[in-house]
Structure 1
Amino acid sequence: MTDWKKVTGTQPERPEEIDRTSSPSTVYLRKNIEQVEKEVEGADGKIQTVTEWQYDEKEMTVEEYENMALMKSVVEENTSGIVESVTQFQKDAVIDEYTQQLIEEGLI
């Protein structure tokens, strides 16, 4: 997996945010995709305006991407259960602490 890098593309259509088709071994993740116009000097010496895409891109192997997608799916499916478990643990801890205070103060 690579770090995010700034990329310029000249493709006619807006690049996909998740590109699994350009390469059989690499998945390209893209964000902050924007179309910009740029002036360049042509072969004849005249200034021309060209349209380009600029975006941040990260590359990962197909295996890395599939593992990431699987982990994301598992987390999304289990988020409510995890939150409930943490909340119950916090409640139990508060009750235990309060009970201990009552014992120390001789009220129980």
Structure 2
Amino acid sequence: MTDWKKVTGTQPDKPEEIDRTSSPLTVYLRKNIEQVTREVEGSNGEMATEWQYDEKEMTVEEYENMALMKTIVEENTSGIVESVTQFQRDAVIDEYTQQLIEEGLI
């Protein structure tokens, strides 16, 4: 996996955020995709349209592992939140009970 790098592309259509088709071995992740216009060097004011974006390359295996982990986290998020919330409730109740015992109220 590479770090994010700034890339300029000349493709006619907006690049996909996740590109699994350009290469059989590499998945390209893209973000901050912007269309820009610039003057072509050596021309008489001719303008060219390009795409600028941040891009990261991953192997297909790295991407599939990342996607699997994301799915697992998304599927289990509500259960994790419930567990933490219940743990916090139990801790508050335990602390309050201890305080009542120390004050001799129970």
Cα distance in 2 between the residues matched to 1:99 and 1:41: 77
**Alpha-carbon distance in 2 for matches of 1:3, 1:100:** 51
Q: Distance in 1 between matches of 2:32 and 2:58?
A: 18
When the two chains are superposed, the root-mean-square deviation of aligned CA atoms in Å is 1.0
5+ unaligned residues in a row in structure 2: which ranges?
none
Q: Which residue of 1 aligns with 2:32?
A: 32
- What residue number does 2:86 align with? 88
The Cα of 1:103 is off from its aligned counterpart by 1.0
Please list the CA deviations of residues 34-57 of structure 1 after superposition, one character each: whole Å capped at 9, or x if unmatched. Answer: 111000224xx5332100000111
Q: Deviations over 1:54-79 (max 9, x none)?
A: 01111111111001100110111111
Question: Tell me, which stretches of 5 or more residues in structure 1 are unaligned?
Answer: none
Q: Deviations over 1:13-36 (max 9, x none)?
A: 110000001111110000111111
Do structure 1's residue 9 and structure 2's residue 9 form an aligned pair? yes
Structure 1 match to 2:100: 102
Which ranges of 4 or more aligned residues in structure 1 deviate by more than 2 Å?
none
**Structure 1 residue 66 and structure 2 residue 99: aligned?**
no
Q: Which amino acid aligns with 2:5?
A: K
Amino acid of the structure 2 residue aligned with 1:26: T
| Matched letter for residue 8 of structure 1 | T
Pair 1:77 & 2:85 matched: no
Looking at structure 2, the residues matched to 66 and 9 of structure 1 have their Cα atoms a distance apart, in angstroms, of 25
Question: What TM-score comes out, normalization by structure 1 length?
Answer: 0.93
**CA–CA distance in 2 between the matches of 1:36 and 1:49?**
10
